[in-house]
Structure formats: C-alpha cells, structure tokens
Amino acid sequence: MSADDFFNEGAPSAIATIKALGDKPGTTIGGPIVEIGEQVQQKDVNTGAPAVWPDGNPKMMLPVIVATELRDPSINDDDGHRTFWVSGNLKKAIGSALRQAGAKLAVGGVLQVTFTGYGEAKKGFNPPREWTAVYTPPAPGSGFFEEPVAAASVGTPAPGAAPNPGPAPAVAPAGVDPAQWAAFQAMQAQAAQAAPAANLDATNAAYAAQMGFQTPQ
C-alpha cells in the first residue's frame, strides 16, 4: 500500500493525481480552498503505527481540500476536489506563500501548488518531493460571517444631519450687485464642502436677506 492510498479517504490525494498525470516536475494543482481539516497525526505507511519524530513528538499533517477543474474518469462522481496532506516540504512551500501574501490560510482563498522535482534522499528514505506554492486570500467580505459593505443611503438624512441647501441661483436677484452675488456663491460653495452648519433657504429673497443684501421695496 502506498502512502497516497493509505491517506486517500474523502477527496482524492493531490499527490496521487500528480502521479496519475505523469509525475512530471512543473505539474500544478490548485483552486479555491473548500475545507481545512483538523491536524491529524501521520502514520507509518509500513506499520500503520502513529509516526513520531526522534524526540518522541508526533508528526502532524493538515488536510487542505481544494476545488480543481480536474476530472478523473476512473473516479466515480469526481467533483474535482483534491486533498493536500500538508507536512514536510509542502508545509514549507505553503508557509512561504502565506508570508508572501501577508495572509492566513482560509476557506475561499486560492491555493496553487506546483511539484518541482525531488530533493536529495536521506539514507533509508525515498527522495523528498519539493514544491512551490502561490496563495491568493479571499476577497474582503466574502466570508460567511462577514457583513457586506453597506451601500450609501439615499433619501431621508439621518437625525441631526444638516440638510443640503441645494445650489444657489446662478443669476443675481434684482437689486443685488452681480459682483457681490458672485462672491456669495463662491462662499456658499466653499461652506457646503466644509459641512455647512446653517440651513440656508434656496430662494433668491432669502439668500439676499441672510447675506444682508438690499432688495428693492
């Protein structure tokens, strides 16, 4: 029994898929992450016993399932989901991708993993696979528990908000000096940009009265 067969429960192993595609360096598998499982202890592929490091600490791995566009006709109802059992060099590659992206691994993020070849074999072991990875975090607001960004409210202003007085008339009212009226309009526009404090009436007469202009009797 191979290591891929041993761990191949649920979504097929990504490494098994790479082997089925010819086990060629440069092969990339990836897609949106649909599930991140709990860490589990690795097992010795020869004995089935829980695997540990020389110091006695357990060897752990993290199952990460991605939705790929691959379909294997030999797998019944293949939905394209593939599992990366993350440990060893694969853990290093994904960790580097996360640091490069400045993000944490999350469902909805896109993980692309490329098999680059084999490293140097240690005595009594097969040569380790080597990897590179690219990670794109999910877009803000795409998470299940995140609130969507509220659209700007149109209609009745919030309590306490100053109403918009609207634009001043373009033509000076009768009896008002056009130069004074132009200066008033410029001042009004500047005040509107700086959150006006007063509610100015938009009628010609009111504008003139509020600014102290004299109108014909």
Q: What is the average pLDDT across 139-162?
A: 54
Is 170's pLDDT higher than 70?
A: no
Is 114's pLDDT higher than 70?
A: yes
Least Cα distance to 98 among 24, 14, 7, 33 occurs for 33
Among all chains, which residue has been given the structure tokens 């191979």? 2
For 122: left if phi > 0, alpha if psi spans -120 to 50, otherwise beta; the answer is beta
Measured between alpha carbons, how far is 213 from 203 in angstroms, rounded to an integer? 13
Measured between alpha carbons, how far is 184 from 207 in angstroms, rounded to an integer? 9
pLDDT at residue 26, as a whole number: 95
**pLDDT band, residue 193 (cuts 50/70/90):** low
Measured between alpha carbons, how far is 216 from 41 in angstroms, rounded to an integer? 93
The domains of the chain are located at 3-136, 162-217
Q: How far, rounded to the nearest angstrom, does the alpha carbon of residue 186 sit from its chain's CA centroid?
A: 44
Q: What is the average pLDDT across 69-84?
A: 92
Measured between alpha carbons, how far is 93 from 82 in angstroms, rounded to an integer? 18
Query: Concatenated DSSP letters for 104-123?
Result: ---TT-EEEEEEEEE-PPPT
What would the two tokens of residue 88 be? Answer: 């060893």
pLDDT tens digit sequence for 12-46:
889 889 998 899 999 999 999 999 999 999 988 77
Helical H segments across the chain, by residue range? 3-7, 14-20, 88-101, 178-193, 204-211
Least Cα distance to 108 among 150, 146, 71 occurs for 146
> What phi and psi values does residue 36 have, to the nearest 5 degrees?
-120, 115
The answer to whether 112 and 131 are in contact (CB under 8 A) is no
